[in-house]
Amino acid sequence: MRRNYISPEFQKNNVYGTYNMLEQSNYFGSKMLIIEDSISIINQNIIYYQKSNGEQIDYDTETTLESTIYSSSDDKLLNHTLILDQSQSQYNLDNSTNWILNINLNSLLTNYIYAQLKKFRTFEGLKNEMNIYNDVDVAIKKYIQLNVLNRYKYSSIDLYIKYNDLRNQNILRYKNTWNENIIISNYKVSNFQSATDLNQNNVVIQFNQSQPSKNFNFDYYYNVNFVKI
């Protein structure tokens, strides 16, 4: 065989397919994650098992370890803020207080889907060294951001409010409490306005107290609903 003495410009190295978490379709078809037609993040706990480093390799072994619990209530508590509308008048502040509830939709949906993928062991067998992040958890959340979030859109918020009589406890005025135990029809309210940003990463809910803040504070809770596009 004749040698041409031309050194190769490129070197071929085999890498794991999970180095690229973006699903790319081709002419012959591609794999696709089956997702729910709708998602309602209500008051639920999702339990799953994994190794201490986040990997899911052997179910029988991992069930002997402490389970991991995703609490949607705790997640919703962490991913919202409830503040007074600073532009309202003193009269409104005393009688029909306007509140602004800001919810991080992107984070909530990502965390919920992540917990479901862990529960059903969708990425079982994926090891930390098999992705460019060297971290299974980071890789799975990247997969969600690249392939799943854009397949859902925000649908609605279910808002629940239970008023509490302050009587002579004015020190508790404007002190409202997150309460996951008030999800009943009597406390569900519909008189609020909502608006999302352009990318639907956040939703802002504005509502007024139906009871004067001089005499009442309230417990509150919300559920978030998404639908598949």
pLDDT digits (tens, 9 = 90+) for 148-191: 999 999 999 999 999 999 977 778 899 999 999 999 999 999 99
Quick check: 226 pLDDT over 80? Answer: yes
The verdict on residue 4 lying in a domain is: no
The verdict on residue 136 lying in a domain is: yes
The verdict on residue 142 lying in a domain is: yes
- The tokens 């794999």 sit on which residue? 31
Instruction: Extract long-range pairs of 30-39: CB within 8 Å, 24+ residues apart.
Output: 33/122, 33/147, 33/148, 35/148, 35/151, 35/152, 35/228, 36/228, 37/227, 37/228, 38/155, 38/225, 38/226, 38/227, 38/228, 39/109, 39/112, 39/113, 39/152, 39/225, 39/226, 39/227
pLDDT digits (tens, 9 = 90+) for 28-44: 555 668 889 999 999 99
Whole-structure pTM value = 0.89
The verdict on residue 16 lying in a domain is: no
Percent of the chain at pLDDT > 70 equals 92
Percent of the chain at pLDDT > 90 equals 80
The verdict on residue 18 lying in a domain is: no
The verdict on residue 153 lying in a domain is: yes
pLDDT digits (tens, 9 = 90+) for 118-154: 999 999 999 999 999 999 999 999 999 999 999 999 9
Domain housing 157: 37-228
The verdict on residue 3 lying in a domain is: no
The verdict on residue 160 lying in a domain is: yes
Mean pLDDT of 92-111: 96
State the total domains in the chain.
Answer: 1
Which residues, 6 or more positions from 162, have their beta carbon under 8 angstroms from its beta carbon?
179, 182, 187, 218, 219, 220
